[in-house]
């Protein structure tokens, strides 16, 4: 179950990136579950990672490798998170890096490992090392649909986005894939995201744009409020277009940043549309805040409330649940008379109480749609923030109750 068509548009190849997806039978025989990305020499990589204290072995190893040398390969597996596995988990992740590095003729430190799946089970490294050679032999420049499927877990459909724009007299490409459906409140830093561009950038710029773009996308979504042990979002600049970001005019730099952020947002919102059991895609807009933090506090209080989310599933305009979420968000000296709440354009709360003229029929008409917005005005300042969430359905409980069966 998911919201929207999920049809992927044209996914453009990115110069300097090759990819492959193969089956290692980690959880289910024949299922694509190992993905390899090859990055051309000279590529620059930045990334943001989970803030969960129990971060998985591959996350730890990934950060160690990035600190030592420029990445040449990403090695991604699904079906097993290799989290909560201690030193044996680190050894398993390292052995996978070693196997790919040996087969590719590079240093093992230039291989970044990523895992997603069941937590607390040791990675079956032998299954992965047995197929890295096959993955390398199948590398190609345009298998985005296949590799997007290859990183799925409880996802019902692949997630990818791509765009091109003209900068410095050249065509610049941005293409990315992501996975995630449950245990979603990335807070980068279970979600993984990989975005690639052929623009040339230095390491500081790539890292800054990775964080900036993630903050406005993957760090603005929530399915269930749980932050995974394995969240990672990577940005790679191969430089194969021959265009240097630093040499662009300020206006063109902003064009690129906007296009990059749009790809990040497309990927992040695709995760919400495919949230486990989701039937509603909900945009939460909070405006009139005194700070970004308090806008996000209100947004997440609404977006993570089980009572709000179950009401959304039922198309029940129980506006008191939204009002209560705003009230418990932790804002100091909140002036209730200034609060206004709308479902799309339907005002349900004004001056801290039910809006004059509001009807249950009007509220239900909005919530009966597959996509709508909850708009909150705090009347405390000029800051606004947007985040995205979905409803809680019976299927969410079923999927997670049966996750390991």
Distances (CA, A) of 34 to 2, 111, 209, 283, 288: 24, 14, 27, 33, 46
Q: What is the largest CA-CA distance in the chain?
A: 71
Q: Is 105's pLDDT higher than 60?
A: yes
80 contacts 96 by C-beta, under 8 angstroms? no
Q: Containing H/E element for 316?
A: none
The pLDDT of residue 59 is: 92
Report the alpha-carbon distance of residue 229 to residue 183 in Å, rounded.
9
For residue 87, give every residue at least 6 positions away whose Cβ sits within 8 Å of its Cβ, in sequence order, or none: none
DSSP sequence for 349-373: EETTEEPTT--HHHHHHHHTSSEEE
Q: What is the model's pLDDT at position 181?
A: 57
What percent of the chain is predicted at pLDDT more than 70? 94
* Segment 155-208, tens digit of pLDDT: 889 999 999 999 999 999 999 999 975 444 544 335 799 999 999 999 999 999
Tokens representing 283 are 């945009």
Residue (of 38, 43, 106, 121) closest to 76 by Cα position: 38
pLDDT at 189: 36
190 given a catalytic annotation? yes
Tokens of 120: 């607390």
Mind listing the pLDDT tens digit for each residue in 45-60? 999 987 777 788 999 9
What local confidence, expressed as pLDDT, does residue 403 receive? 59
The closest alpha carbon to 188, from 221, 208, 218, belongs to 218
Q: How far apart are CA 343 and CA 347, in angstroms?
A: 7
- Rounded to whole angstroms, the Cα distance separating 392 from 386 reads 20
pLDDT of residue 352: 83
- Which residue has tokens 């206004």? 340
User: pLDDT at position 188, please?
Assistant: 37
pLDDT of amino acid 224: 57
Neighbours of 169 (CB within 10 A): 6
Instruction: Please determine, for residue 390, whether its predicted confidence score (pLDDT) is greater than 60.
Output: yes
- Estimate the share of the chain in helix, then strand, then coil, as percent rounded to the nearest 5: 35, 25, 40
The residues, any chain, with a CB within 8 Å of residue 112's CB and separated by 6 or more, are 45, 62, 65, 66, 71, 73, 74, 75, 97, 234
Contacts of 204 (CB under 8 A, 6+ apart): none
Q: What local confidence, expressed as pLDDT, does residue 183 receive? A: 46
Residue 41 CB-density burial (10 A; 0-12 exposed, 13-18 middle, 19+ buried): exposed
Please give the mean pLDDT across all residues of the chain.
92
Which residues touch 250 (CB under 8 Å, ≥6 apart)? none
- Inform me whether the pLDDT recorded for 264 exceeds 70: yes
Highest mean pLDDT among 9-13, 152-156, 389-393, 396-400: 9-13
pLDDT above 80 (res 404): no
* Whether pLDDT at 77 is above 70: yes
Are the beta carbons of 44 and 239 closer than 8 angstroms? yes
Distance, CA of 37 to CA of 252 (rounded, Å): 29
Residue of 45, 190, 229, 279 marked active site? 190
Query: Across residues 219-231, what is the average pLDDT?
Result: 66
Q: What's the CATH superfamily of 281-401?
A: ArgJ beta chain, C-terminal domain (3.10.20.340)
Domain ranges (residues) in the chain: 17-271, 281-401
The predicted model gives 320-327 an average pLDDT of 94
Q: Burial of 105 by CB count in 10 Å (0-12 exposed, 13-18 middle, 19+ buried)?
A: exposed
**What CATH topology corresponds to 17-271?**
3.60.70
* pTM of structure: 0.91
């Amino acid at each position: 179950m998911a919201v929207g068509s999920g049809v992927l548009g044209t996914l453009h190849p990115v110069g300097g990136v090759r990819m492959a997806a193969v089956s290692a039978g980690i959880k289910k025989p024949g299922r694509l579950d190992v993905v390899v990305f090859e990055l051309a020499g000279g590529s620059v990589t930045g990334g943001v990672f989970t803030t969960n204290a129990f971060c998985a072995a591959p996350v730890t190893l990934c950060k160690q490798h990035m600190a030592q040398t420029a990445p040449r390969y990403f090695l991604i597996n699904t079906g097993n998170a290799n989290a909560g596995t201690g030193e044996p988990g680190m050894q398993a992740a390292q052995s996978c890096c070693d196997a790919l590095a040996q087969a590719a003729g590079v240093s093992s430190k230039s291989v970044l490992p990523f895992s997603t799946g069941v937590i607390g089970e040791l990675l079956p490294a032998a299954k992965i090392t047995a197929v890295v050679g096959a993955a390398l032999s199948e590398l190609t420049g345009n298998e985005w649909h296949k590799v997007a499927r290859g990183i799925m877990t409880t996802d019902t459909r692949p997630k990818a986005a791509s765009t091109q724009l003209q900068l410095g007299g050249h065509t610049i490409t941005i293409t990315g894939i992501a996975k995630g459906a449950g245990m979603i409140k990335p807070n980068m830093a279970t979600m993984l995201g990989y975005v690639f561009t052929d623009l040339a950038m230095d390491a500081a710029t790539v890292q800054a744009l990775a964080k900036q773009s993630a903050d406005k996308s993957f760090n603005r979504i929530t399915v269930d409020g749980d932050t995974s042990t394995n969240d990672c979002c990577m940005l790679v600049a191969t430089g194969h277009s021959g265009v240097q970001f630093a040499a662009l005019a300020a206006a063109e730099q902003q064009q690129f940043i906007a296009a990059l952020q749009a790809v990040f947002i497309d990927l992040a919102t695709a995760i919400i549309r495919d949230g486990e059991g989701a039937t509603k895609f909900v945009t939460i807009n909070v405006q009139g805040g005194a700070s970004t933090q308090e806008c996000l506090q209100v947004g997440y209080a609404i977006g993570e409330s089980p009572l709000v989310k179950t009401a959304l599933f039922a198309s029940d305009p129980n506006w008191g649940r939204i009002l209560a979420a705003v009230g418990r968000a932790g804002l100091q000296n909140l002036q209730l008379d200034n609060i206004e709440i709308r479902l799309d354009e339907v005002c349900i709360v004004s001056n801290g109480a039910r809006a004059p003229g509001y009807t249950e029929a009007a509220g239900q008409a909005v919530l009966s749609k597959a996509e709508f917005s909850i708009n909150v005005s705090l009347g405390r300042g000029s800051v606004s923030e947007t985040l995205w969430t979905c409803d809680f359905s019976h299927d969410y409980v079923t999927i997670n109750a049966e996750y390991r069966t």
